[in-house]
Amino acid sequence: MRIFLDTANIQEIRDAARMGVISGVTTNPSLVAKEGKGDLRDRVLEICSIVQGPVSVEAVSLDVEGILEEARRLSRWSPHVVVKVPITPAGLEATATLSKEGVKTNLTLCFSANQALLAALAGATYVSPFVGRLDDAGHDGMQVVADAVEILEYYELPTQLIAASIRHPLHSIAAAKAGAHVATIPYKVLMQMVQHPLTDVGIERFLADWKKVMPAPV
């Protein structure tokens, strides 16, 4: 399973990229707004230069022609750009056209295996079930991921599944066990995955023992 970083924060992306563990980035209008005013194109191009992998940028139009216009414009910014499109009738129609034009898409706001199947049939490059939001609503978000992965693999559909709305490290493990192709996670969750108190204790013990056998530098 690959890991994407779910953020529009440049410093977070740089820090995660240096660790060598992320291969893409997902953004949305809310994440971009958190970073304050600025040129979206410049930010996206900077992110693309850091990760050199898929970078999801969301189209905000809701009608077919609007989605198509936005998607075509966004995709021209960089070959790494993947256009996020909501799973609606208009979004599916636009995706069917974009897939024939070679524009990469990420069908977002997915909350069922039915929606994931339709996204794949429309030609989506990625589809993103929102695990955390499903859990919040009393559903089993990870079961939706598992069901969708099973369908995609059974019918050998090329669409890749991104487990989104990841809230904690256990979600990441569950997504991997469910067969998700990608988990897109916030920087905070990534750092929680790295850290473990026993690792910290082990380092402290190793250093303490080393000081006992090695003289202090003169």
> Tokens representing 178?
């469910």
CB-neighbour burial class of residue 193 (10 A; exposed 0-12, middle 13-18, buried 19+): middle
Where are the alpha helices (H) located in the chain, listed in sequence order? 10-19, 29-34, 40-51, 64-75, 89-101, 113-122, 131-136, 141-154, 169-177, 187-194, 197-213
Point out the catalytic residue in the list 37, 84, 211, 212: 84
Catalytic site residue 177?
no
Tokens of 145: 């991921």
Please give the structure tokens belonging to residue 131: 């695990």
Catalytic residue numbers read: 84
